[in-house]
Amino acid sequence: MSTIWTPGGEYVPREEPPERPAPPPPQGREPTPEELQAALAEARAVLATPVLEHIGGHAMAFFELAALHLEREAATGGEEVPDLAEAALAIDAMGALVEGLGDKLGPYRAQLENALNQLRMAFVELS
C-alpha cells in the first residue's frame, strides 16, 4: 500500500476498514442480550479513544478522498483526469473542520493545516 506525504511525515492509510458491527435487529424484534452486549462493547471502544483522535482521523479521511479525486485516472487509457468538483468538496469539508476548530485541534493543528494547504496547492496547479 502506498503512503501519502504530509508535512508531518508519511501517512499510511489503513489497509482494511475496521470491522463493522453486526447489523441492527430487524424491526419488530427485541435485540438479544448478546447483541446488546456487543453494541455496548463497541460504544465503550469508541469512548476509549479521545475525540481529538476521531476528529484527526476524519480530517485525514477528507485528505485522502481529495487526493484520490485529484489523482483520479480515466477508466480507459490510464490517463490522469482529476475530478476537480469532487476534490473541491472534500477540500472544503477538510477546511471547514480544520479551520473551524483551529486551536481546539491542539498538537494536530499545524499538521492538519499543512496537509490542507498541500491539497489546496495541488488543486490550484491542476485547475
| 77 in Cβ contact with 52 (< 8 Å) | no
Summarised one tens digit per residue, pLDDT across range 36-85 is 999 999 999 889 989 999 999 999 999 999 999 998 865 546 677 889 99
Q: How many domains would you assign to the chain?
A: 1
Residue 60's domain spans which residues? Answer: 50-126
Q: Is the pTM of this model over 0.75?
A: no
Higher pLDDT, 31 or 5: 31
Residue 77 maps to a domain: yes
Residue 98 maps to a domain: yes
Average pLDDT rounded to a whole number, residues 101-113: 95
The CA distance from 59 to 94, in Å, is 6
Model confidence at 16: pLDDT above 90: no
The CA distance from 97 to 46, in Å, is 20
3-state SS, one letter per residue, for 35-66: HHHHHHHHHHHHHHCCHHHHHHHHHHHHHHHH
